[in-house]
Amino acid sequence: MVGQRLGGRYQLEERVGGGGMAIVYKAKDLLLHRPVAVKVLRPQFGIDEDFINRFRREAQAVASLSHPNVVSVYDVGQDEDTHYIVMEYIEGQTLKDLINQHGALPIEEAIRIAVQVCDALEHAHQNKIIHRDIKPHNILIGNNGRVKVTDFGIARAATSATITHTNSVLGSVHYFSPEQARGGFTAEKSDIYSLGIVLYEMVTGQLPFSGDSPITVALKHLQDPLTDPREINPRIPQSVENIILKALVKDPFLRYGSALEMLTDLETCLSPERQNEQKIEFPVDEEQTRVYPRITEDMLGQAQSDREHYRKGPQTEEDENGKKRWWVRAIVWTAALGLFVILALFGFNLVQQLFEVPEIDVPHVVGTPVQIAEAKIKEAHLVPERQEQFSNTIEAGSVISQDPAPPMRLKENAKVLLVVSKGKKLEEMPNLMSQSRSLAEQQLKLKGFTVTENTFEEKEDETAPPGVVIEQVPAAGEKIVPSETTVKLTISKGKKFVELPDLKGLTEEEAKVRLFQLGLKVGEITQVPTYLTEESGIVVSTLPFTPNMKVEAGRDVPLQVSNGSYPSDAKIGMEPVLVEYDGDREKRVRILVTDARGDKQQVVNEQISSSMEYQVPIILSPEKRTATIEVYMGDEKVPVQTRTISYDDIP
Ligand code: ATP
Ligand code: MG
């Protein structure tokens, strides 16, 4: 695609990389004259409309983020079948490249990078955006050392269906949190876990959990204990190890409460006061107390052969006990194989449901008032936890969502998270000024505004480029409920152009009035000698503009005005012309002259009743070297007299 132009504006210059979903090009934005990175979605995703919509929505959300450690998204577009995101171009390399080249990084360097990533996460989380795919490939290190996180939220666009026809999940699964691997409720804390893995990798040079298949890795995140980073690299300070351990607890409730909390810890961990820190201790990691049978990759491999065995039917020589064990094992293996297939297709959603020992059915409480919901949960001998969130659809005080939800089963006294509505959120009206119409439109839709034809109005504008927002109502920063607010955006049509009329022959005053009426300005006025007229003050031309030209409104139009004399090399002659006539009725005589002033100028037009002699003035120039005089009588179409006079004949 190099050399192609997208959206008439982004000229692709060079391919810089490609991942599972997209190919990234360095490009030039021809409108704003700046380098940009254009992420072009791979064609197989272009046909999945749902995916495209999610992809655009997420990119739009990220466009509202503005932070020095977040790669800015400038535009999202479509050119025929090609879907793309335009973002800030970062000259540099990815953190993955850096780790591949150097192995473990110096501790200070690793912390410096983690601080900046964490700062980016904090900003995004404040704006209710979860990254969902934090990994070193998505952390760019500019040549100036600045760390920038990219691909915010884009992972959300990919569903299990899109993941299965790429292997992009292979790269990401190493950084997935246990709850993400299970396909459960992903929130801010999943990003914190992923950053914990990245930090682990930066200081030890290795991944804590790895394996041949996404499932092996996912299972390890779910059930394997972590090897302490200091066991691999004893030079890691205890304070840094503590941060990693606290980010990587399997139970999200025991992890850092927010990116801000982790950021504060990261910023102070290398200070002298924290040199003698003790190793962090956790209460029992609840996630590990949930009941999972231990699953191993071996079991999954053996499942196939056992399944075949089962198909052949029971072997007659087995004793009673043997048969029973075989029967039990066959069911376990068949389930394990089924699990393998389901996991491969649907991204691990069902691990927990399939492997937990069923004890208590989680009651369904979504949509019910929180007091009733909590009572139901308690009645089932479970412990409700509350988290509040704004909602435009669920009224204040009712449950928006729950985790876990039916058909999940839990052990007694396990926690159930209830997300409870705080009612409609008064939001700040986003600043849409100077944004392209499409970007503004999608941002509005994303925030829940209704966008119709009437939302937009076009207007000419002297300064703004065509297609961008020049006025918005309500103003940026006003507190509103998006679903109940009518927005008006005025879009620039760019500069106005007017068609210049022919001003030749008008007086200087008349010409000035015409220009004023058209919204043009009077430029420099020059007095020029001209063959066109002997009068002074008559417009001769408007060069460099010519009649019918489209001229930007407000431009200066110069006027060249006659100064009342012919040019100095003009030759002026008087030619006597005798018109003979002796009829009894009057007859019309017309004399036309073609010379330097123009073609067929009528110099005589009158009735005569007898012969007349006229003195006919002619003017010749070095360019127009011959003049023609034609005399017509009455209605004759053919001249009765024609005469040519040459430049050299005139003294
Ligand atoms: P995934 O598909 O899982 O996101 P990935 O992150 O490796 O995998 P892409 O996001 O498509 O793949 O990025 C591919 C490469 O393009 C990156 O590794 C990086 O080198 C380069 N790249 C991405 N964004 C930018 C950018 N804004 N500026 C400069 N280079 C970039
Ligand atoms: Mg990426």
The CATH number fitting domain 497-563, selected from 2.40.128.110, 3.30.10.20, 3.40.50.1220, 3.20.20.70: 3.30.10.20
In CATH, the number for domain 5-88 is: 3.30.200.20
Cα–Cα distances in Å, from 95 out to 55, 121, 194, 410?
24, 16, 14, 40
Query: Is the distance from the beta carbon of residue 182 to the nearest atom of ligand 1 less than 6 Å?
Result: no
Average pLDDT over every residue of 155-171: 48
Is the link from the previous residue into 407 a cis peptide, with omega within 30 of 0?
A: yes
Structure confidence at residue 568 as a pLDDT band (50, 70, 90) = confident
The highest-confidence range among 23-37, 38-52, 344-358, 363-377, by mean pLDDT, is 23-37
Structure confidence at residue 178 as a pLDDT band (50, 70, 90) = confident
Residue 47 has pLDDT above 50, yes or no: yes
Beta strands in 243-389 (DSSP E): 360-361, 383-389
Beta strands in 321-414 (DSSP E): 360-361, 383-389, 399-403, 409-410
Instruction: For 269, list phi and psi in degrees, rounded to 5.
Output: -65, -25
Instruction: Report the percentage of the chain scoring pLDDT > 70.
Output: 85
Structure tokens at 153: 């939220």
Query: Is the distance from the beta carbon of residue 90 to the nearest atom of ligand 1 less than 6 Å?
Result: yes
Test site for ligand 1: of 29, 98, 140, most ligand atoms within 8 A of the Cβ: 140
Instruction: Report the percentage of the chain scoring pLDDT > 90.
Output: 40
CA-nearest residue, atom 19 of ligand 1: 17
Write down the pLDDT at residue 608: 92
Q: Which amino acid is at 18?
A: G
Test site for ligand 1: of 16, 72, 132, 168, most ligand atoms within 8 A of the Cβ: 16
CA-nearest residue, atom 15 of ligand 1: 17
For domain 571-649, the CATH architecture is Sandwich (2.60)
The CATH number fitting domain 430-492, selected from 3.90.850.10, 3.30.10.20, 3.40.50.150, 1.10.340.30: 3.30.10.20
Structure confidence at residue 125 as a pLDDT band (50, 70, 90) = very high
Query: Is the distance from the beta carbon of residue 157 to the nearest atom of ligand 1 less than 6 Å?
Result: no
Higher pLDDT: 199 or 465? It is 199
Average pLDDT over every residue of 109-124: 96
Instruction: For 509, list phi and psi in degrees, rounded to 5.
Output: -65, -50
Average pLDDT over every residue of 404-429: 85
Higher pLDDT: 377 or 296? It is 377
CA-nearest residue, atom 12 of ligand 1: 19
CA 321, CA 510: separation in Å to the nearest integer? 115
CA-nearest residue, atom 1 of ligand 1: 19
Instruction: Find out whether 63 and 73 touch, Cβ atoms under 8 Å.
Output: yes
Contacts of 35 (CB under 8 A, 6+ apart): 26, 27, 28, 29, 89
Alpha-helical segments (H) within 463-568 = 508-518
To the question of pTM greater than 0.85 for the whole model, the response is no
Higher pLDDT: 119 or 151? It is 119
State the ligand closest to the CA atom of 94: 1
Query: Is the distance from the beta carbon of residue 22 to the nearest atom of ligand 1 less than 6 Å?
Result: yes
Write down the pLDDT at residue 355: 45
Residue 315 has pLDDT above 50, yes or no: no
Query: Is the distance from the beta carbon of residue 138 to the nearest atom of ligand 1 less than 6 Å?
Result: yes
Query: Do the domains 359-421 and 92-274 match in fold?
Result: no
Write down the pLDDT at residue 158: 54
Which pLDDT tens digit goes with each residue over 323-380? Answer: 444 444 544 554 555 455 445 444 444 444 444 444 788 888 888 889 889 998 998 8
In CATH, the number for domain 359-421 is: 3.30.10.20
Residue 121 has pLDDT above 50, yes or no: yes
Q: For 32-45, b where at least 16 C-beta lie within 10 A, e where not — what string? A: eeeebbbbbbbeeb
Residue 166 has pLDDT above 70, yes or no: no
Residue 147 has pLDDT above 90, yes or no: yes
Write down the pLDDT at residue 71: 94
Write down the pLDDT at residue 25: 96
Work out which ligand 1 atom sits closest to the CA atom of 20. 2
- Find the helix packing angle between 214-223 and 297-312, rounded to 10°: 120
Average pLDDT over every residue of 524-541: 89
Higher pLDDT: 306 or 133? It is 133
Average pLDDT over every residue of 579-607: 91
CA 288, CA 286: separation in Å to the nearest integer? 5
Test site for ligand 1: of 13, 14, 15, 24, most ligand atoms within 8 A of the Cβ: 24
Q: Which of 75, 133, 151, 595 is catalytic?
A: 133
Structure tokens at 521: 């300005």
Q: Is-catalytic flag, 599?
A: no
Structure confidence at residue 417 as a pLDDT band (50, 70, 90) = very high
Structure confidence at residue 156 as a pLDDT band (50, 70, 90) = low
Query: Is the distance from the beta carbon of residue 97 to the nearest atom of ligand 1 less than 6 Å?
Result: no
Coil vs helix vs strand at 278 = coil
CA 244, CA 457: separation in Å to the nearest integer? 53
Cα–Cα distances in Å, from 423 out to 185, 370, 393, 471?
21, 13, 8, 30
CA-nearest residue, atom 17 of ligand 1: 17
Query: Is the distance from the beta carbon of residue 391 to the nearest atom of ligand 1 less than 6 Å?
Result: no
Write down the pLDDT at residue 316: 35
Domain ranges of the chain: 5-88, 92-274, 359-421, 430-492, 497-563, 571-649
Across the chain, mean pLDDT equals 83
Q: What is the 17 CA–ligand 1 centroid distance (Å)?
A: 6
Q: Which CATH class is domain 92-274?
A: mainly alpha
Q: What is the 220 CA–ligand 2 centroid distance (Å)?
A: 24
Instruction: Find out whether 224 and 217 touch, Cβ atoms under 8 Å.
Output: no
Write down the pLDDT at residue 634: 87
131: closest CA among 75, 171, 178, 180?
180
Q: What is the 553 CA–ligand 2 centroid distance (Å)?
A: 46
Structure confidence at residue 132 as a pLDDT band (50, 70, 90) = confident
Higher pLDDT: 41 or 199? It is 199
Beta strands in 143-192 (DSSP E): 147-149
CA-nearest residue, atom 11 of ligand 1: 19
Total residues found in the chain within this entry: 651
Query: Is the distance from the beta carbon of residue 35 to the nearest atom of ligand 1 less than 6 Å?
Result: no
Q: What is the 142 CA–ligand 2 centroid distance (Å)?
A: 15
Write down the pLDDT at residue 312: 35
Which pLDDT tens digit goes with each residue over 77-98? Answer: 888 888 899 999 999 999 999 9
Cα atoms in the Cβ-side hemisphere of radius 13 Å centred on 171 = 16
Query: Is the distance from the beta carbon of residue 162 to the nearest atom of ligand 1 less than 6 Å?
Result: no
